[in-house]
Structure 1
């Protein structure tokens, strides 16, 4: 498994992607209490199994944005991309996203982002209940896709990602 390298890449099979993501997701749980199953499934959905330009070029597996040009303490820069936002209607736009040196940094920043934004605090009452944790971060505004929770939960069930929560 990849722990500090570039992480999952587009040429990997789904099983190889998951295997490469597990160590970083479990480290994220130990450090920030974000369920590993949620982290892995979100990274799959957000990065298209590591095939998105954001993941392939900048090792950003979650679509975490730069705000005011500030990448935060873990990311190493910012990069602007064309994207879609839904509020609730979907439209094309541009956004600036964080860039990372490794999958580990991207996954750590995901946990850091959730723990340092007070709106997500209620989710951490459910660190041992991945499904409810996911519902709570969505409720707090994590994603604009109205079907986000069902898409992430479907990945968690289909690939039995819940098994990685027991560390």
Structure 2
């Protein structure tokens, strides 16, 4: 499989999860490339080297600057899409990756992954950035929302403050319900939920 084909297969899943969880598609794709060697080394369709029950594999870990070989359990997936989804869920539901979510700069997101302990490889951040830049993966971060526009979280925050003030100033129950609904929709549109 060519590098372009590998990227083309992963991009739709990475973009869908970016919309849902706020993890840059470029970072997700770069991690899959790095962790699986462009899909050539993904036993059990595990593109990200996610550990867990499934199958035992020999792997290398960098411990205190020295590489050691260990045997560990790795998850198994039916397909690559499931692997991408599990990766997104792992990052989205683990508080240590909170700084990765909704980070719009791939360099910062890559650094935050390393800081959160995603990988023991000392050069993990640099490798991700080289892959993203070398394969021009940032183009997958520029997606059109179904509504045609994704509001910035700053703008949404300002509007939500105005809606909150309106909510506080009215006693009309129906108006309060609608104002609350609009604030929730703005949070979704800006990627805050």
Specify the TM-score bucket, using the shorter chain as the normaliser: 0.7 to 0.9
1:103 and 2:80 equivalent? yes
RMSD of aligned C-alpha atoms? Answer: 1.1
1:23 and 2:9 equivalent? no
1:60 and 2:36 equivalent? no
Q: Deviations over 1:20-47 (max 9, x none)?
A: 1111111121221110000001100000
Aligned 8 A contact 2:23 2:102 in 1: no
Gaps of 5+ in 2: 144-193
Q: Deviations over 1:63-88 (max 9, x none)?
A: 0001xx4xxxxxxxx11101101123
- Give 1 or 2 for the bigger CA radius of gyration: 2
TM-score norm. by structure 2 comes to 0.71
Q: Which runs of 4+ in 1 moved over 3 A?
A: none
Partners of 1:97 and 1:90 lie apart in 2 by 19
Secondary structure class of the residue paired with 2:15? helix
Aligned counterpart, 1:93: 70
1:44 and 2:30 equivalent? no
> Across the two proteins, how many residue pairs are aligned to each other?
142
Secondary structure class of the residue paired with 1:123? coil
Aligned counterpart, 1:131: 107
Deviation larger for 117-126 or 149-158: 117-126
Question: What is the deviation of 1:125?
Answer: 4.9
User: Pairwise mapping of residues 112-131 of structure 1 onto structure 2 (< 5 A)?
Assistant: 112-126=89-103, 128-131=104-107
Gaps of 5+ in 1: 1-11, 70-77
Aligned counterpart, 2:169: none
Compare the two structures and name the one with the higher helix fraction.
2
Secondary structure class of the residue paired with 1:124? coil
Higher RCO (Cα < 8 Å, 6 or more apart): 1
Partners of 1:93 and 1:39 lie apart in 2 by 25
Partners of 1:114 and 1:48 lie apart in 2 by 21
Aligned 8 A contact 2:24 2:102 in 1: no
Aligned 8 A contact 2:21 2:102 in 1: no
Secondary structure class of the residue paired with 1:101? coil
